[in-house]
Structure 1
Amino acid sequence: MAKLRVHSDRVEVQLTPTEKSLALRGDDIVVQQGDIRSAIITDDPWIWIRGIRRRGTEVPLVVAVGVWKYHGGSDFVIVKGKRQAVVLELSGGEFARLIVSTNHAAQLIESLRLTAAASDEAEPAAPGE
């Protein structure tokens, strides 16, 4: 299962060798913290997959790994079975959305909150605030 690592400036999705092979992708995914518009936990990640598979592997309701193309861009999907997943809506970069099955969805969301709060505290207040 892919490892999600939250840093102060970015989120890394470290794919296993099997996931890289299934996704037909050679490298991991890095998303800048500032590009994350929202993060949602879902118990049914299959309803979040949109468009058609452009590159990767899909066995419906079993596994989906790779890039899905839709009319507005591309999403990267790592969905396994009926596991809980995190959906990250993005404003820039290679993908518009990441959908990643994880056993640690709540901890991931909390880590994103903590790093966002820490960066807000580190920024100086604008004049007049």
Structure 2
Amino acid sequence: MASLELRDSRVEVVLSGLERLGALRGDVSVALDEVLDVRPAPEPFAELRGWRLPGTGLPGVIALGTWRSRGGKDFAAVYRGRPAVVIEVRPGGEFRRLLVADENAEDTVSRLRTAVLAR
């Protein structure tokens, strides 16, 4: 399962080998000073917007890859029954939001918010 890691001054979405295959891309990285908000998403599939392209998806089961909408591109790595973390990003980068499944979403949100505020 994907993980959110803090490395230097960046938040990185680290994907497993199978997730890379399903998402049709490698890891995703965003600078901490580009992060606008971090919040938990108990129902991550309700957060998806637009069309999946490219990636893998089965509604309500798995969402891996890029979702495109009028609001910009989002990256998703979410799974049925697992809460997620939503990271809102400033306009201008590759993605506007990152949605990543995380069993400890509340703790991860706290850790990321602390890192963002420290910047």
TM-score by length of 1: 0.85
Equivalence for 1:118: 118
Q: Which residue of structure 2 aligns with residue 50 of structure 1?
A: 49
Matched residues, number = 118
Q: Does the 8 A contact of 1:8 with 1:115 survive in 2?
A: no
Q: CA deviation at 1:71?
A: 1.4
Between Structure 1 and Structure 2, the one with more strand by share is 2
Report what 1:3 is aligned to: 3
> CA RMSD, aligned part only?
1.3
Indicate whether 1:16 and 2:16 are aligned. yes
Give the match for residue 87 of structure 1.
86
Largest Rg, 1 or 2:
1
Matched, 1:37 2:36: yes
CA contact (8 A) 1:90 1:96 kept: yes
Give the aligned residue type for 1:91.
Answer: R
Deviation at 1:111, TM superposition (A): 1.4
Q: How many angstroms apart in 2 are the aligned matches of 1:68 and 1:16? A: 19
Question: What is the identity, as a one-letter code, of the residue corresponding to 1:57?
Answer: T
Gaps of 5+ in 2: none
Instruction: Report the equivalent of 2:74.
Output: 75
Alpha-carbon offset, residue 3 of structure 1: 1.6
Secondary structure of the structure 2 residue equivalent to 1:39: strand
**Structure 1 unaligned blocks of 5 or more:** 120-129
Q: TM-score, normalised by structure 2?
A: 0.92
CA contact (8 A) 1:43 1:83 kept: yes
Q: Give the drift of 1:8.
A: 4.8
2:96 pairs with 1:96: yes
Answer 1 or 2: higher relative contact order, Cα 8 Å, separation at least 6. Answer: 2
